[in-house]
Structure 1
Amino acid sequence: MASILVEDVSLNYPIYDAGGRSLKSAIIQTVGAKMATNSGRVEVEALRDISLNLKDGDRLGIVGHNGAGKTTLLRVLGGAYEPPKGRVLIDGTVSSLTDITMGMDMDATGRENVRLRCVFLGMSYSEAARHSDEIAEFSELGSFLDLPIRTYSTGMLVRLAFAASTASRPQILIMDEMIGAGDAAFAEKAKARVNEYVENASILVLASHNDGILRTFCNQAILLDQGRITFAGSVDEVLERYHAEKGRS
């Protein structure tokens, strides 16, 4: 049984070089911020008093404008950020696809990076080795796998990162938008793999600006604004509220 429990989580980003009045004003107006009392620096309130309780079968969509806190929340759930306030309890294996190239070394070969990415996602070295041949075949990169990835085109790098990132079958899947990869032929193969990946997860948390994707994959949603959950409900209810608020802004 997989589960996610988030209780009263808050997280601030200090911005130490925001010395100019115009920059401080722009940060406050764009993402919402407060001034630290002693140093005069700006602190962006990325998350404020977030609480969630997700169990097997939950498919949560996260909705909000750019800067609302969606990616920060995903990174907290994926374990990349440890919030200074509140607590996060996660039961189950987690795969976070907020950045599919994270953990990769530009000077290492494609084959070496397959293992690096798999270990970064929580596999043991032996598990990564077992998956290496399948990942290499799926990527369709052939002899390029023996070259440093700094020699790759963007499309080749995305193929490799995608193949490695979707090799495991986690219980909890964290995604920032749906993954697309490569040319048209490879993109179709990637789409089928993503669909299988999502279906096999016990819990999905997906941030997206695409209404159709949210309606297809999610069975509930939350609306974030300036780091706070301002509304929660069905996907249709949350999207209706989001678009109504966008229309008034």
Structure 2
Amino acid sequence: MGDDLAIEARDLGVRFRRNRRGRRNVKDLFAGASRRSQPDEFWALRNVSFDVKPGESIGVVGRNGQGKSTLLKLVAGVLLPDEGEVRVHGGVAPLIEITGGFVGDLTVRENVRLTAGLHGMGRAEVARRFDGIIDFAELADFVDTPYKHLSNGMKVRLAFSVVSQLEEPILLVDEVLAVGDKAFREKCYRRIDELLADGRTLFFVSHNERDLRRFCDRGLYLDKGALVLDAPIADVLDRYNADYNAG
């Protein structure tokens, strides 16, 4: 595996239970989770290999339940593989399960400090970026409001604003642009354009063909947990659409 890559994946495999979510996180590693295959288990991903160079924009394509979000969580370090390995060179800014990690009883101000701190921002940096985060989220009138009293749209705006301020070289995005009103989506588009122009690496899961064509130059097409095509994004979308229309 080379040091000139942002992401390296080799023969990745992830197994889940059909009747309940399999134990697939870091905590289970210490709890001694069994690796033996059981009849009620299935492979969400298997034999998936690819490399991502710094600055590349990768779109992950496939129907629901084909392993896209599972792959993103492996890259984020949220899940552990049952087979193979994934190496990520550099920190990640994860826009996945976007409102997770915020605390309902804490105010917007307190949540910004907490969440940014958990992502590695020091106090001085949080203070320096605080006004920009709040302005981007359009929450200047709600900084001392408990998070639980925000609307869903406000929560999404706050989460995107915090994570998009991180200076990590790899941006992981899972359908976040499908939420929020049109004006805020356009603001998010412009922010992602800025991050890409700055040389960030993008790993983007979406069903929105327009967004995939706008942001991505290369695609990974997953079907039944297997990587069936790794090619320019236009070719991947053409193949996906042909397969979809064929039923």
TM-aligned CA deviation for residue 142 of structure 1: 2.4
Q: Which amino acid aligns with 2:13?
A: S
Q: Which runs of 5+ in 1 are unaligned?
A: 19-35
2:142 matched residue in structure 1:
144
Rounded Cα–Cα distance in structure 2 between residues aligned with 1:197 and 1:64:
25
CA displacement at 1:169 relative to structure 2: 2.6
Q: Return the offset for 1:131.
A: 2.2
- Change in Cα spacing, 1:122 to 1:11, as seen in structure 2 (3 Å) is farther
Question: What TM-score comes out, normalization by structure 2 length?
Answer: 0.83
- CA separation of 1:94 and 1:40: change in aligned 2, threshold 3 A: closer
After superposition, what is the alpha-carbon deviation per residue over 1:102-155, rounded to whole angstroms, capped at 9, x for unaligned? 211111111111122223334344433432232123222224211211111112
| Number of the residue aligned with 1:3 | 6
Give the whole-Å Cα distance in 1 for the aligned partners of 2:179 and 2:143: 17
The equivalent residue for 1:110 is 108
CA distance in 2, matches of 1:123, 1:80: 20
- Asked if structure 1 preserves the Cα contact closer than 8 Å seen for 2:55 and 2:196, the reply is no
Residue 179 (structure 1) aligned with residue 152 (structure 2): no
Aligned twin of 1:62: 60
**Equivalent residues of 2:5, 2:51 under 8 A apart:** no
Q: Does the alignment pair 1:211 with 2:214?
A: no
CA distance in 2, matches of 1:87, 1:39: 19
Q: Structure 1: how far apart are the matches of 2:123 and 2:81? A: 29
Distance in 2, matches of 1:108 and 1:154, equals 16
Aligned length: 232
Mapping for residues 79-158 of structure 1, pairs under 5 Å? 79-158=77-156
Q: Which has the larger radius of gyration?
A: 1
For the 8 Å contact 1:68–1:227, the answer to whether it is kept is yes
> Residues 62-81 of structure 1: CA distance to partner in whole angstroms, max 9, x if unpaired?
11001111011011111111
CA RMSD of aligned residues (A): 2.5
Amino acid at match of 2:116: C
Instruction: Provide the C-alpha distance between the structure 2 equivalents of 1:96 and 1:155, rounded to a whole number of angstroms.
Output: 18
In the TM superposition, 1:22-41 aligns within 5 A as none
Deviates more, 1:114-123 or 1:179-188: 179-188
* Residues 104 and 239 of structure 1: CA distance in aligned 2, closer, same or farther (over 3 Å): same
Q: CA deviation at 1:230?
A: 1.1
Match of 2:25 in 1: none
Whether contact under 8 Å (1:109, 1:145) holds in the other structure is yes
Whole-Å separation in 2 of the counterparts to 1:235 and 1:149: 38
Identity of aligned residues (%): 38
- 1: CA distance, partners of 2:169 / 2:20: 40
Distance 1:72 1:205, change over 3 A: same
Within-5 A mapping of 1:42-57:
42-57=40-55
